[in-house]
Amino acid sequence: MPATTPATTPATPPATTSALTPVLIVGSGPTGLTLACDLARRSIGVRMIDKSADFPRSSRAKGPNPRSLEVLEDLGVVDRVLAAGSGPLPMRKYRNGRAIADTDPFESPHPTPDIPYAHGRLIAQWQLEEILRDRLAEYGVRVELGSEAVALSEGPDSVTVALADGRSIEARYVVGCDGGHSPVRKMLGVPFEGKTAEEQSMVCGDVEADGLDRGIWHQWFDEDGAVMMCPIPGTPSGWWFQAGPERDAAGGLVPPSLESFRRLFAKHTRLPAERLTRATLLSTYRVNERMADRYRVGRVFLAGDAAHVHSIAGGLGMNTGIQDAYNLGWKLARVVDGRSDPGLLDTYEEERLPVASWTLDITAERLRETLDAIRRPGGGLDSAMSADTTGLGLGHPWSSLSAPGSTPRLRAGDRAPDA
């Protein structure tokens, strides 16, 4: 592999942007990085910009599911992901501070020749992004930080993206992978219909804690709340922290902080609050269920959270975005290099928009199941998992690319078993 500068070094933007870029990706999360790696390995010119000044260190998503691991294998990084992460952990449920049940929802099935990854992998999102950035750097492409897209204008053969610093980039195609608040989607005027469930809220963050078994995903439930802590792989004392929020006297949400996390921890675990020694990347999460009504406007596409957001139950957020990117990558490559008619790009929305609709439905169902389960002694987050959340059963049999035909096991448009 060619020598490169470290992928985590902020790229210096070119002094001029007059050359036509084949594909410009806005946003450098897992969705955008998957798409960039896929295009770069196909020798398609790609640039990636992000408005952030630095790469985030957020743990956020807990890792790729079995279907995404197959994508990462195809991109040549799965061994790095497996080495950096850990396998899924058994779950210990507590009631009123007492351990009452251990379950291992990942105990079976086991890998088979046609399903080499029977389970997902726990890995902090920043670690996965770093692996994908390193892979992208091997193709000579680096993320251009501090580059905020503020306007789009489309001509007959290209799109010009204006940046906040006065520069502009002209590209044949642009893909907005810039999250649930997507500026690209807003510039396009694409509606993002749905709902926000204010009553279904939680506080989240990365914490450091002492004295807890790191081989367990701990889940403390009471009648009036919960605390859930999962160890972050590759850290000596880091944990994903999720909890039902504190509320003030007026019923409003108390902003997350180390102090509020300690109060929640002590209340629900019956352990000393001082065991939590640090809390970072604090956020309040509200369940949003929204999706764009179209994934393409001319030469501009939407992918990942820019196109759909939903409950975290089942862990499908990042994974659905990775699958969006994988679907779009080969199609853009074939059109850019002239091997396929541009009409091929219409099949991206045709195939992926129904998957987003299904994802909103299945995650809402998994959330209801989980909320019901945790009210019962012994219930926990394992209720958020199902065969559907592996991603292995998803296909596109309705697609115009799926020619009629089937075998006893497969239809056109199904996921092809590993060969």
Q: Is residue 416 part of a domain?
A: no
pLDDT at 12 over 70: no
Whether the CB-CB separation of 413 and 419 falls below 8 Å is answered with no
Q: pLDDT class for 385, splitting at 50, 70, 90?
A: confident
**Does residue 240 share a domain with residue 283?**
yes
How far apart, in whole angstroms, are the C-alpha atoms of residue 249 and residue 261?
Answer: 18
Q: pLDDT class for 44, splitting at 50, 70, 90?
A: very high
Q: For position 59, what pLDDT does the model report?
A: 75
**Does residue 280 share a domain with residue 297?**
no
**Does residue 362 share a domain with residue 302?**
yes
Q: For position 14, what pLDDT does the model report?
A: 45
**Does residue 309 share a domain with residue 280?**
no
Q: Is residue 261 part of a domain?
A: yes
Convert the pLDDT of each residue in 301-346 to its tens digit.
999 999 999 888 878 889 999 999 999 999 999 999 999 999 999 9
**Does residue 248 share a domain with residue 302?**
no
**Does residue 182 share a domain with residue 119?**
yes
3-class SS string, 337-406:
CCCCCHHHHHHHHHHHHHHHHHHHHHHHHHHHHHHHHCCCCCCCHHHHCCHHHHCCCCCCCCCCCCCCCE
How far apart, in whole angstroms, are the C-alpha atoms of residue 302 and residue 321?
Answer: 10
How far apart, in whole angstroms, are the C-alpha atoms of residue 93 and residue 373?
Answer: 11
**Does residue 158 share a domain with residue 65?**
yes
Question: Looking at the 3D structure of the chain, how many domains does it have?
Answer: 2
- Under the phi-then-psi rule, with left for phi > 0, alpha for psi from -120 to 50, and beta for the rest, what region is 211? left
Q: Is residue 334 part of a domain?
A: yes
Q: For position 18, what pLDDT does the model report?
A: 57
Query: Which helix (H) or strand (E) element contains residue 30?
Result: helix 30-41
Q: Is residue 409 part of a domain?
A: no
User: What count of other Cβ atoms lies within 10 Å of the Cβ of residue 2?
Assistant: 7
**Does residue 82 share a domain with residue 60?**
yes
**Whether the model pTM is above 0.85:** yes
Q: For position 216, what pLDDT does the model report?
A: 94
**Does residue 310 share a domain with residue 265?**
no
Q: Which residue, of 287, 317, 338, is where some domain finishes?
A: 287
Mean local confidence (pLDDT), 246-252: 86
CATH number at residue 56: 3.50.50.60
**Does residue 189 share a domain with residue 83?**
yes
Q: For position 377, what pLDDT does the model report?
A: 78
Bridge partner list, 206 = 240, 280
**Does residue 135 share a domain with residue 211?**
no
pLDDT at 27 over 80: yes
Domain boundaries, position 358: 21-88+112-193+289-390
**Does residue 71 share a domain with residue 213?**
no
Q: Is residue 184 part of a domain?
A: yes
pLDDT at 237 over 60: yes
Q: Is residue 337 part of a domain?
A: yes
How far apart, in whole angstroms, are the C-alpha atoms of residue 80 and residue 322?
Answer: 17
